[in-house]
Amino acid sequence: MKGLLYKDLTLIVGSYRMNFLFLLVVYTAMAFALKMDFMAYALVFVVGLYASTTISMDENSRWDLYARALPVTPGQVVAGKFLLTLGCTAAGAALGFLLLAVMPHNPPLPDALAGLAASVTTTLVYSSLVIPLSYKFGAAKARSWVMAALFALIFLPLLALTSLPEETRDTLWGALGLRGDGQPDALSLTEGQGLWLFLGAMLTVSLLAVGISWAVSVPLYRQKTD
């Protein structure tokens, strides 16, 4: 397992070292100059994304054929991809938190934690979809399909929501126990309770996505290498 992780980490560092440094500088500059907290959250996704790209590298080098001669099981090979994804995502979250901590406008801690939790969950759900689909249909197709699905399921609804009249949005917020300004009403959870509930929900979704994806990916990888 250590050898598998070392191999993939070597691929990532060798292929994306300059890309990462460039993005880190650009994202930091945009976050400071434009006061864009979003860049810290985007950094989590980008760093976590590096892990799944090693599947494409394995395909191009036909590494999976060589792996059949190694004393590793398909479950260990797939587990290595998920451990790498978790590690890269954690590293991205740490960098994102550090960036938020040093930003001049000092975003509130609850907002920062909620944003980082959402970006971590998005990254892990994305990877949990891409990895099994990559073993089934190829990495290039998997990434394109998942990106299109996320755009349709997340960004299009948000765009539609922002285009609604203010009265309609207020009605929706009210149905969710929120006022029109997006704050909890008197019968809603307190800010602290809501934050912990949100963080717990994000953690649960992330762990479920990773666990289910690993269980699905192992037989798909085994079929691919048989």
Closest to 150 (Cα-Cα) out of 132, 125, 131: 125
Q: What does the alpha-carbon distance between residue 226 and residue 223 come to, in Å, rounded to a whole number?
A: 5
CA angle 16–20–24, rounded 5-degree value? 175
Q: CA 88: distance to chain centroid?
A: 10
pLDDT confidence of residue 128: 93
DSSP H or E stretch at residue 121: helix 109-137
| 136 burial via Cβ count (<10 Å: 0-12, 13-18, 19+) | middle
Residue 130 near residue 52, CB atoms below 8 Å: yes
Q: Is the dihedral of CA 97, 103, 107, 109 positive or negative?
A: positive
In three-state secondary structure terms, 130 is: helix
pLDDT confidence of residue 178: 47
Residue 5 near residue 83, CB atoms below 8 Å: yes
SS3 content of the chain, % helix, strand, coil (to 5): 85, 0, 15
pLDDT tens digits, one per residue of 25-37 = 998 898 888 888 8
pLDDT confidence of residue 10: 92
pLDDT tens digits, one per residue of 85-124 = 999 999 999 999 999 888 887 778 888 888 889 889 989 9
CA distances (Å), origin 204, targets 31, 87, 91, 121, 209 = 29, 18, 20, 9, 8
For the chain, the domains span 2-225
Q: What does the alpha-carbon distance between residue 88 and residue 68 come to, in Å, rounded to a whole number?
A: 26
State the distance between the two ends of the chain, measured CA to CA, in whole angstroms: 21
Q: What is the dihedral of CA 56, 60, 65, 70, to 10 degrees?
A: -70
pLDDT confidence of residue 158: 59
Segments of the chain with pLDDT less than 70: 154-164, 166-192
Please tell me the pTM assigned to this model. Answer: 0.81
Query: Which tokens in the block code for residue 114?
Result: 């909620």
Query: Which tokens in the block code for residue 168?
Result: 């309609």
